[in-house]
């Protein structure tokens, strides 16, 4: 496939490069005038031009230059769509979501692929494809500032969101029920800009979806989720109004692409240090052929211990790949790979019994979570409990003590994660109560569980709902979005 026209630029650059496109479309139109044919649709324009013009953003959420050339989730998807049409993709970077919409609405681009969320305001300007992903919305703050616990606990904290965005719409909806909630809509910015402003202190809080927050976690570890806003936002491509043939073709493409989406999402949005995205395809297959036999056990244990079934399922996948007959060389066995001692302590008689194993793992996780100090907020509390599940609470406590000794926050998973590998270094473990531990394994365990949880969260976003059956797993997320 042909490469992009450039890696930087904005609306002016897009407008400058649009004139050959306009001339080509005009030539097609003139050629058809003599036959009294209607104005050609976008698919016909693409065929005549031999290229798909894609309005996008030059950022890590959409399109950027990677180590080996152009990359990004939208780059991959739009390139695949162009190949399905038998043409190459030409990417036109713009400097804001509004400029992307303008390019599509004015005919300078055939589609807008830029991590766009569907909003009523934007639907008045362009059409949208069926959603290809749904995202939770989080209120983000710095961990070294007091954490607001909900919309009614914002006080005097400044809250800024992108003007006209799904985030602004979600906050407006919340404000109807919580009149004391106030926020500022900021034009000419995107969410990554606002996350930077929270990091450097210009704003106290902002709203970001799961993807956007994931992109910042490696280089802004000070940011954390305070609470979630109700509902979801839905990501889709912007399309010209009045072209049902193009919309049908794009929707068909997204349905066909669903089996690959978890791996693509994990590749671009999971932090690089915590998830091997190449395993996502295997996980999706196992969601279809292994999880259905276990899903009722995971949900039953989740109800009993007030847990999200997907957390339990992610642990089970990390431990055994959902194989009830799994046995390790060290003698741990079953779906949750419990030791004989742990199984006995949890009242489990048969570790090979899937229901018993899952219940035992859920009870053990609850015990670890209950031991974490109450002051530790979510999601750090869960990640610390997962580390204790793997390494034992005593070694986790050693890691937290070491974290505090190093001048960091023992209640922050990010800080404790950095300390865990130090438990295997003599100069550190000889100072700790419980001595040597394979701390890097606990860090990796949590990394992998979080990666599997990301995919399960995408496949089945409702904690009370079962994962999709094998027959419709490929279209599960899009079906939910409908």
Burial category of 336 from C-beta neighbours within 10 Å (exposed 0-12, middle 13-18, buried 19 and up) = buried
State the Cα–Cα distance between residues 460 and 477, nearest whole angstrom.
Answer: 7
Kindly list the distances between the CA atom of residue 371 and the CA atoms of 78, 338, 366, 433, 467, in Å, as whole numbers in the listed order: 48, 19, 9, 18, 31
Q: Could you tell me the CA-to-CA distances from 132 to 164, 168, 186, 207, 321 in Å, in that order?
A: 21, 21, 27, 21, 27
Per the listing, tokens 């997907």 go with 310
CA distances from 212 to 220, 227, 268 (A): 12, 15, 11
Q: Which two tokens stand for residue 194?
A: 């606002």
Nearest Cα residue to 333 out of 356, 312, 308 = 356
Active-site residue, selected from the candidate residues 51, 74, 307, 319: 319
C-alpha to C-alpha distance for 460 and 476, rounded to whole angstroms: 8
Known active-site residue 374:
no
**466 Cβ contact list (under 8 Å, min separation 6):** 292, 295, 299, 460
Burial class (CB in 10 A: 0-12, 13-18, 19+), 147: middle
Upper half-sphere CA count for residue 328 (Cβ side, 13 Å): 16
Q: What is the DSSP letter of 256?
A: H
CA atoms within 13 A on the CB side of 226: 25
Query: What pairing do the DSSP bridges indicate for beta strands 51-57 and 111-117?
Result: parallel
Q: What is each CA distance from 326 to 292, 338, 390, 412, in whole angstroms? A: 17, 11, 17, 33
The set of catalytic residues is 319
């Amino acid at each position: 496939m042909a490469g992009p026209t450039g890696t930087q630029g904005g609306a002016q650059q897009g407008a400058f490069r649009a004139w050959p496109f306009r001339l080509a479309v005009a030539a097609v139109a003139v050629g058809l005038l003599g036959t009294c044919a209607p104005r050609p649709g976008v698919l016909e324009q693409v065929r005549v031009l031999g290229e798909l013009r894609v309005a996008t953003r030059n950022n890590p959420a959409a399109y950027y230059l990677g180590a080996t050339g152009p990359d990004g989730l939208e780059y991959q998807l739009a390139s695949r769509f162009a190949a399905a049409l038998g043409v190459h993709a030409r990417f036109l970077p713009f400097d804001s979501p509004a400029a992307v919409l303008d390019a599509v609405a004015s005919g300078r681009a055939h589609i807008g692929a830029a991590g766009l969320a569907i909003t009523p305001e934007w639907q008045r300007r362009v059409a949208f494809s069926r959603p290809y992903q749904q995202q939770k919305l989080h209120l983000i703050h710095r961990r070294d500032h007091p954490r607001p616990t909900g919309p009614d606990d914002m006080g005097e904290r400044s809250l800024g969101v992108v003007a006209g965005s799904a985030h602004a719409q979600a906050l407006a909806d919340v404000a109807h029920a919580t009149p004391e909630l106030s926020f500022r809509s900021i034009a000419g910015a995107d969410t990554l800009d606002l996350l930077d402003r929270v990091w450097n202190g210009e704003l106290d809080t902002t709203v970001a979806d799961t993807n956007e927050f994931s992109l910042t976690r490696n280089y802004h570890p000070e940011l954390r989720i305070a609470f979630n806003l109700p509902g979801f936002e839905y990501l889709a491509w912007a399309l010209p109004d009045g072209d049902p043939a193009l919309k049908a073709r794009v929707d068909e493409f997204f349905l066909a692409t669903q089996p690959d989406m978890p791996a693509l999402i994990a590749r671009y949005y999971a932090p690089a240090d915590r998830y091997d995205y190449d395993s996502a395809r295997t996980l999706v297959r196992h969601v279809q052929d292994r999880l259905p036999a276990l899903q009722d056990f995971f949900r039953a244990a989740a109800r009993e211990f007030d847990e999200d079934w997907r957390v339990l399922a992610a642990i089970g996948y990390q431990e055994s790949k959902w194989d009830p007959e799994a046995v390790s060389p060290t003698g741990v066995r079953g779906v949750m790979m419990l030791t004989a001692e742990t199984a006995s302590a949890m009242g489990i008689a048969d570790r090979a019994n899937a229901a018993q194993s899952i219940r035992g793992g859920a009870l053990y996780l609850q015990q670890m979570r209950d031991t974490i100090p109450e002051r530790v907020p979510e999601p750090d509390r869960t990640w610390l409990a997962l580390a204790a599940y793997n390494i034992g609470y005593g070694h986790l406590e050693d890691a937290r003590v070491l974290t505090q000794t190093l001048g960091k926050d023992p209640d922050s998973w990010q800080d404790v994660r950095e300390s865990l590998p130090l438990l295997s270094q003599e100069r550190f473990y000889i100072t700790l109560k419980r001595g040597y531990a394979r701390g890097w394994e606990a860090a990796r365990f949590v990394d992998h569980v979080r990666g599997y949880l990301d995919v399960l969260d995408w496949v089945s976003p409702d904690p009370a709902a079962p994962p999709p059956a094998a027959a419709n797993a490929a279209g599960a997320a899009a079906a939910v979005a409908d």
